[in-house]
Amino acid sequence: MKITILGSGTWGTALANLLAKKGEDVTLVSALPKDASYLLAHHSHPHLPGILLEPSIHYGSIVAEATPNQDVVVFAAPSKYFRATAKKAAPYLSPKTILVSVSKGIEEGSLFTMSEILQDEDHALHQVVVLSGPSHAEEVAAGLPTCIVSSSHDDKAAKTIQHLFSTPYFRVYTNRDPHGVELCGAFKNILALASGISDGLGYGDNAKAALMTRGIAEMRRLGQKSGCQDETFFGLAGVGDVIVTATSKHSRNRLCGSYLGQGIPYEEAVQKVGMVVEGVLLLPALKELENRYEVELPIADFVYEVCFHRRDPRDGISVLLGRALKSECDNG
């Protein structure tokens, strides 16, 4: 197959390498010409140390040249730049092309997920698939065992992408709830920030387990309000992605949270991470969703207060623990 990946961050690069190893015809497009030149010259990514990229990968920086007549176009731009990337690509997409979103986030204002942005910008109504789950780029690039989901309302498209990306170490399941999958992929970054804050405060595993578990309950409540399938939240895209993002040394969101827990302002914390922290970008849109659906999200609110209102993290945890006692099954 002929495949273009728009976005040469660690995730887009790891997926390009995976497909090239399978013998697919892959073009990786960087936003900046200098980034494309670096990848071509070094066959490596600065944030994937020790990984040698397949020599068959083509590199470019011009969307109009890389997207026509492709079987699959993968959108791997950060959520902040996702719509701009989709807008650039839309005029050049072939009718047969399957569009795949591997980015995680919700657009502020429209409250669209990434696949919904693709559909909003794409007036030719291409098949759209979401590829998501517990999958750090560093581990995928190293060939470590990973399982994710290919989700779409179009079963044929979901299965095409399932087979395209599956390898002996990268197993892909199908799923029919793309909105739920994307909601999980976005919300889990908030829970990773919360878990990182707990780490930064010096709390133990008990606190982190509580934040993750009750956070999944929040994620599920929001999903129920917006028509998602319950099973999605207990699968790879839900619980699986929460576990990996909230606990891993590779997680930018958990690392950013740990700086917040140490009392570092969020602007400085993001700068110290040195890469995009999607959870912080998501917070305003998540607050809008909370108001739209009138759902209670106390952990998400806590992270929002720490980031944007400079709330003392220790005080915020105390407020969470001091809420009115209730049944675990209560809706709040």
pLDDT tens digit string along 102-116? 999 999 999 999 999
Calculate ∠ Cα 192-297-305, nearest 5°.
70
- Helix 278-293 with 252-261: angle, nearest 10 deg: 80
Supply the residues annotated as catalytic.
Answer: 188
Question: How high is the mean pLDDT of the chain?
Answer: 95
pLDDT of residue 123: 75
Evaluate whether 216 touches 238 at the Cβ level (below 8 Å): yes
pLDDT of residue 329: 83
Summarize the confidence of residues 255-271 as an average pLDDT.
Answer: 96
**Residue 53 tokens, joined:** 């990229």
Burial degree of 94 (CB within 10 A; 0-12, 13-18, 19+): middle
Domain 2-176 has CATH 3.40.50.720: yes
Does this model's pTM top 0.75? yes
Looking at the domain covering 179-321, what would its CATH class be? mainly alpha
Handedness of CA 37, 39, 42, 48 (dihedral sign): positive
pLDDT band at 292, cuts 50/70/90?
Answer: very high
pLDDT band at 315, cuts 50/70/90?
Answer: very high
pLDDT above 90 as % of the chain:
96
DSSP 8-class letter at 106: B
CA distance 128 to 43: 30
pLDDT of residue 107: 96
CA distance 133 to 242: 9
Evaluate whether 28 touches 6 at the Cβ level (below 8 Å): no
Summarize the confidence of residues 61-85 as an average pLDDT.
Answer: 96
Q: Taking 90 as the threshold, does the pLDDT of residue 264 lie above it?
A: yes
Q: Taking 90 as the threshold, does the pLDDT of residue 69 lie above it?
A: yes
pLDDT of residue 332: 67
Whose tokens are 């990306």? That residue is 165
Instruction: Give the DSSP H or E segment for 60.
Output: strand 58-60
Rg (CA), the chain: 19
Summarize the confidence of residues 126-131 as an average pLDDT.
Answer: 95
Residues of the chain with CATH 1.10.1040.10: 179-321
Residues of the chain with CATH 3.40.50.720: 2-176
User: Measured between alpha carbons, how far is residue 288 from residues 111, 218, 267, 293, 304 in Å?
Assistant: 8, 15, 21, 9, 12
Summarize the confidence of residues 237-246 as an average pLDDT.
Answer: 97
**Residue 261 tokens, joined:** 């827990």
pLDDT band at 37, cuts 50/70/90?
Answer: very high
- Residues 6 or more apart from 134 whose CB is under 8 A from it? 146, 147, 148, 236, 240, 241, 243, 244, 245
